[in-house]
Amino acid sequence: MNQLLLLLGKRIGAALLTLLLVSAVVFFISSLLPGDAAQAMLGQSATPEAVAALRSALGLDQPGHIRYVHWLGGLLTGDPGISLANDMPVAELVATRLPKSLVLAGITTLVAVPLALFLGIYAAMHSGSRTDRVLSTLTLCMVAVPEFLLATVAVLVFAVKLRWFSALSYAPPDASLGEFLSAYAMPVMTLCLVLVAQMARMTRAAVIDQLNQPYVEMAVLKGASLGRVVLRHALPNAIGPIANAVALGLSYLLGGVIIVEVIFNYPGVASLMVDAVTNRDMPLLQACAMIFCAAYLVLVLFADICAIVSNPKLRS
């Protein structure tokens, strides 16, 4: 048991270290963006003196590593700075947007993961059959279609032509269930299509890999039914790879959410980040980037922990 804790501790420590490195990369890469906030705030006609004055007021004239240490310290104490573009604390801006992004991601996860697991396992159980081939072709098509295309087509068909849903996805806090569903239907659907396809393919591969193992043949020769073979024998050993597939799929959601939020004009963190890029609003951009990176690391960490805990060789 102690060994397991040690293993998990090491894994979590490695994740934290990665996050630290990521923060440095995020900070220095974002400072490579052309132009700076002082220029952006004062506009093209500003005198160089005015720009310089504002730069020093904002602390932009200090060397990079000092700004990094200040910024990192701020992040750790929960204060990622003041947004340069609209003079509000970044924390506050993020706090209004993050829950909305989480709701979108959460709903998508709730729909996509069970659906993907079901499709993947079903296809693996009947691998080579007509259903499997149809599912394979469909999922392959879905993986190949970029989500901005899906999102645009969805808007065109469901909002413009059929007028079932609004092109803008926003549910007010007091929305009824119907309004809520109608607001989320299109972004969730768009995200799910790509996500389910990827996760289902990887789940199928993981389960089929296990179904080819000798212990599965042994279970068949013990008289076990197909359902029992898959659920009781193959699946427990496929948890590691499946958790990884889910984590990778969900981390893909992070990228997809940027496009989807923008196209459906959904007020989440991703659209906030896109605004930050346009405004050269470094503190906001960096905070958003860190949120995405942290989410990614948490997902991968979660998958690793699943794999460790589900494997008796690592557990004991």
User: For residue 101, which of 270, 292, 296, 289 has the smallest C-alpha distance?
Assistant: 270
Residue 129 near another protein by CB under 8 A: no
Angstrom CA distances, 193 to 4, 44, 151, 190, 271, stand at 37, 44, 10, 5, 21
Please provide the size of the chain in residues. 316
Q: Which of 197, 219, 269, 291 binds another protein (CB under 8 A)?
A: 219
Structure tokens at 284: 């906001």
Q: Which of 213, 255, 265, 278 binds another protein (CB under 8 A)?
A: 213
- DSSP class per residue in 97-127: HHHHHHHHHHHHHHHHHHHHHHHHHHHHHTT
Residue 225 near another protein by CB under 8 A: yes
Question: Which part of the chain contacts another protein (CB under 8 A), choosing from 2-10, 197-205, 221-229, 288-296?
Answer: 221-229
- Give CA angle at 70 (68, 71), nearest 5°: 65
Residue 61 near another protein by CB under 8 A: no
Stretch 169-208: interaction string toward another protein, x if CB under 8 A: ----------------------------------------
* Comparison of 208 and 287: residue with beta carbon closer to another protein: 208
Question: Which part of the chain contacts another protein (CB under 8 A), choosing from 87-95, 170-178, 219-227, 288-296?
Answer: 219-227
Q: Which of 97, 100, 204, 233 binds another protein (CB under 8 A)?
A: 233
What's the burial of 316, exposed, middle or buried (CB within 10 Å: 0-12/13-18/19+)?
exposed
Residue 218 near another protein by CB under 8 A: yes
Amino acid letter, 295: A
Q: Which of 40, 52, 220, 298 binds another protein (CB under 8 A)?
A: 220
CA pair distance 195, 116, nearest whole angstrom: 8
Structure tokens at 176: 């009824």
Residue 127 near another protein by CB under 8 A: no
User: For residue 72, which of 264, 305, 287 has the smallest C-alpha distance?
Assistant: 287
Residue 224 near another protein by CB under 8 A: yes
Question: Which part of the chain contacts another protein (CB under 8 A), choosing from 19-27, 80-88, 225-233, 259-267?
Answer: 225-233
Please list every residue from 236 through 265 that binds another protein, using CB under 8 A. Answer: 236-237
Question: Which part of the chain contacts another protein (CB under 8 A), choosing from 66-74, 142-150, 188-196, 224-232?
Answer: 224-232
Amino acid letter, 73: G
Question: Which part of the chain contacts another protein (CB under 8 A), choosing from 118-126, 256-264, 271-279, 304-312?
Answer: 304-312
**DSSP 8-class letter at 311:** -
Residues contacting another protein: total by CB under 8 A: 22
CA pair distance 271, 274, nearest whole angstrom: 5
* Comparison of 107 and 306: residue with beta carbon closer to another protein: 306
* Comparison of 30 and 310: residue with beta carbon closer to another protein: 310
Per-residue b/e over 251-266, b at no fewer than 16 CB within 10 Å?
bbbbebbbbbbbbbeb
Q: Which residues bind another protein (CB under 8 A)?
A: 213-215, 217-225, 228, 232-233, 236-237, 310-313, 316
